[in-house]
Structure 1
């Protein structure tokens, strides 16, 4: 289950990975360059937690990315 969704000026991409018996939450947030910038921003977060289901890891990745963006941008 891989998802891309928009949150303000950012794109959130989550792709849970199966590691052993658990699903690892992984997320990337990206913003294209603005008119006055040469480059955009991209962040990768891989240590968000382990979950019993893919759906739980997916949901946590999205919620975590939204909260991080709201706190930092």
Structure 2
């Protein structure tokens, strides 16, 4: 015990999926680990993209002048 129904306030068992008093569904607890892992990956990808150095422009040599006769 220790949980309460958000709809009617009745006490709920830890494994309850619905309230025995009013029949309201008990929301499932969100698992924090998958969410935290996803956010860490997103942060690392953004950081890698922001720290990527800009490519240096290649030196363009002028074409040799051709003589026209």
TM-score relative to the length of structure 2: 0.30
Structure with more contact order per residue of length (Cα contacts < 8 Å, sep ≥ 6): 1
TM-score relative to the length of structure 1: 0.28
| Bigger Rg, which one | 2
Which structure has greater strand proportion? 1
